Chain A
Amino acid sequence: MLTIKNLFAGIEDKAILKGINLQVNPGEIHAIMGPNGSGKSSLASVLAGKEDYQVTDGEVLFEGKDLLELSPDERAKEGLFLAFQYPVEIPGVSNMQFLKTAVNEIRSYRNQPALTAGEFLSLIKQKQKLVELDDQFLRRSLNTGFSGGEKKKNEIFQLAMFEPKLSILDETDSGLDIDALRIIANGVNRLKNNNNSFVLITHYQRLLDYIVPDFVHVLYDGKIILTGTKDLALELEEKGYDWVKEMAHAKEPAQ
C-alpha cells in the first residue's frame, strides 16, 4: 500500500523529517506516536502534499506509484485521505455542496459515473449514522462555526463518504471528550477492512484503547526510533517519552 524510503523533508532551511522508513500493507493499522515537535504532523502533511514542505531526499510509493510526483488532489483521488488536525473553515460553501463536488471528482477520476441526487442523498444517509451527525450540519458552511468535536466527526464522515485506501488521522483524538472519541473510534473500526489501511498519528495512548493498531512506531527528531506492538504504546503511557529520547541519544556517536 504505502512504502516510505529514507524520507527527508523540511520547511525552508529547517530539516524536520530526517530519514523516515515505513511500510504499510493493506488491512493494517499503524500508530505513530512521539513527543511534541518530533515531526508527526509534518509527515502527514508531506504525504498529503502540502506545498510548504520540501522533500530533499527519499521516495514514497503509494500503490506502486511515485506519490511525491502527484499533486495534492491527485493523491486524494488515488485514495489517500488525511483527516486534518485543524480542519479549515470555508464560509459560504455548504457541506453538502462540498461533498457532492468531492465525491464526484473522485468518481470521475476512477471513471465512475457521477452520482445522481438520489444516490448521493442515500449515501449520505447511510454514512452519517456512522458518526452520529444530524441533517442540520449538511446545510451549514464547511466546518464554519463547528465545535472541535463536530469538525473531527466531519472528517471521519468524509472518510466514510470517500472510502479511501489509506487514511491518515492526524491527532484526530486531540481535544475530544470521551463520547466523541468513542463515536469516532467506532466509525473507524466499522470502516476498516482487509483492503484499506490506517495510520493514526497521536500523542496519547488513549485512542489506541478504542482502535487497536497492528504496529506502533515512535517518531523522534524526524526518525522512527522504535517499532513495536500495542504494548509499546502502553509502555509509553506509563513511562513517558524520556526513556525513548535517552535511548535515541545513546545510539548517537559520542562527541
Chain B
Amino acid sequence: MSNTSNDILEKVTTGDYEYGFSTEIDMEYAPPGLNEETIAFISAKKSEPDWLLQWRLKAYKTFLKQQLPRWQNFELPEMDLQAISYYAAPKKKPELKSLDEVDPELLKTFEKLGIPLNEQKQLTGVAVDAVFDSVSVVTTFREELSKVGIIFCSISEAIKEHPELVQKYLGSVVPQSDNYYAALNSAVFSDGSFVYIPEGVRCPMELSTYFRINAKNSGQFERTLIIADKNSYVSYLEGCTAPSRDENQLHAAVVELVALENAEIKYSTVQNWYPGDKDGKGGVYNFVTKRGICLGNHSKISWTQVETGSAITWKYPSVILKGDYTSGEFYSVAVTRHKQVADTGTKMYHIGKNSKSRIISKGISAGEAQNAYRGLVQVGPNARNARNYTQCDSLLIGDRCGAHTFPYIESKNNTAQIEHEATTSKIGEDQIFYLNQRGIDTEKAVGMIVNGYVKEVLEKLPMEFAVEAQKLLAITLEGSVG
C-alpha cells in the first residue's frame, strides 16, 4: 500500500474510545489484598450461606496451588493481585424493589451507555441485568419473565432464593481448579447473572447483562450461570465497557452454561472494555473462562462474540458435547488495533455420538496489535461420527501487526470428520481501488470490506445487536486504515 493510503489507515485505526467517562458515586470498597479475610468480607457483605463461603475458601486453596499460564505467544504483564480491591459497590443498598430506589447517577450512567434501565424506554423484547462494578444494580422485566417460570436475576439473589439450582450447577462446567483465573474468580466472584429456563419454555425475549467497571484499582469478577432445562430455548447477550484509566484493570469472569436434553442456548457477547490508549497505556485485561456443556441429547450451544475492546483478551468460549446428537458453535470477530492483544478461540470436546461443531473465526489486526486464534477440536474414543468444520481467517491492516492461527486437532475415533481451513492475508488493495474508483474513499472502503468480511459472524447476533456491532466495528477501525 502506498504512503497516502497508509496515512489514511493510520488515521482510521486511531479513533477514540467512546465510553471512557467515569461516574462519581459514593462507593464502598473491600480493603485491597487477596486473602481469606477478603473472601470472608465479600461473603459477609453479600450475606451468603456458609456452604458458599466454604466453597470460596476451597477455591482459594486451589488458587494458591495454581500457576500463571506460560504458553501464550505474547508477553503477559506482571500483575499485583494484592493491590486490587476485590469488592467495590455503590453505597446505596443494592437490593431494590423498584427503579425509583436506584441512585440516579447510576441510571444516568447506563443511559449514557445506551442501556436505559427504565422498562418503558427499553428496546422491546430485551430484558437487562445491569452490573456496576461488583453488584447487580437492577434486573428488568423480571415479573413478566417469572410468569412463564423463567428465573432471571443476579447470582447473589439466586444463591439466596434458588440455592438448590446454584449448588447443583455452580462449578459443574468450569471446575474451581480449571485454571488460574477461574480459581481466582471462584474465590472472589462478586456478582453476575443467573438464568433458569424451565422445561419446555422458549424464552420470549432476549436476556442481557450489561457490565460496567467504574471503580479504580478494582477488578471485576463476575459469575454467570445459565441453565436451560429440557426442550427450552434462550438467547442471551452481554455487553461491557469501562472508563479510560491509566492503570490496567483486571476482569476475570466465569460463565457456565448447561443445556439439558433438546435445549438450546445462544450466548452473544459484544465486548468493548477500555482497550488502553494508542501507546498501550491502561486498558482492561480480559481473562475470562466461558464454557458450556451440552448435557442432554440433541442439545445445542452457540457462542457468538464480537471482541473490540480490552488491552488483552484471553478467552476460549468452549462447548463440551457430552450428549449424543449435540451441537456446538463458535462465531467470532476479534478486532485489535494500537497495541491490543487478542488471543481467543474455542474448544470443542466431542464426547457423545453424532456430535457436531462449527467454528468460524475472523480476526482483524491493525496498528501494532497481535491477534491470535487458538482452538481445540477434540474427539474422544467413543464419539462416533463426530463432525467439525473450522474456518479461521485473518486480515492484516498495516505492516506492524501480527495474525496467528494455532488450531489443535486431536482425534481418537476413526469415524470423525474434521476439516480446518485458515487464510491470512492483507486487506485487498484491488478491492480498495475498486471502491475508490466508485467514489468511496479509502477509510469508508476499508470499513465496507471489513464489514463484508465479518458478515457471516454478525448475522449470528440478535438483530438489535448486529446493527450496534456493525457501528462498533466502524468506530473501532476509525483511524487504523492506510
Contact = CB atoms under 8 A, between A and B. Distances in A.
B456 interface: yes
A23 B456 CA distance: 47
A165 interface: no
Contacts of A48: 433, 437
Interface string B339-352: 00000000000000
Contacts of B428: 88, 90
A128 interface: no
A91 B452 contact: yes
Residue of A48, A72, A158 ringed by the most chain B CB atoms within 10 A: A72
Contacts of A73: 435-442, 445
Given A102-B440, A105-B440, A162-B439, A51 B434 contact: no
A71 interface: yes
A84 interface: yes
A105 B441 CA distance: 8
A106 B439 contact: yes
B455 interface: yes
A72 B429 CA distance: 12
Interface residues of A, number: 30
B385 interface: no
Residue of A81, A90, A106 ringed by the most chain B CB atoms within 10 A: A90
B2 A105 contact: no
A82 interface: yes
A214 to B, nearest CB: 25
A91 B453 contact: yes
Contacts of B431: 88, 90
Interface stretch (A24-32, A92-100, A237-245): A92-100
B453 A102 contact: no
Nearest to A50: B433
Contact of A90 (B4, B434, B439, B444): B434
Given A50-B433, A88-B431, A105 B449 contact: no
B430 interface: yes
A68 B438 CA distance: 17
A152 interface: no
B482 to A, nearest CB: 12
B409 to A, nearest CB: 26
B455 A72 contact: no
A97 B451 CA distance: 11
Contacts of A72: 433, 436-437
B112 to A, nearest CB: 29
A92 B454 contact: yes
A58 interface: no
B437 A101 contact: no
Interface in A71-128: 71-73, 75-77, 81-82, 84, 87-88, 90-93, 97-98, 101-102, 105-106, 109
B12 to A, nearest CB: 14
Given A48-B437, A105-B439, A105-B440, 6 more contacts: A51-B2, A51-B5, A88-B434, A92-B455, A102-B435, A158-B438
Interface of A: 48-51, 71-73, 75-77, 81-82, 84, 87-88, 90-93, 97-98, 101-102, 105-106, 109, 141-142, 158, 162
Interface of B: 1-2, 4-5, 428-431, 433-442, 444-445, 448-449, 451-456
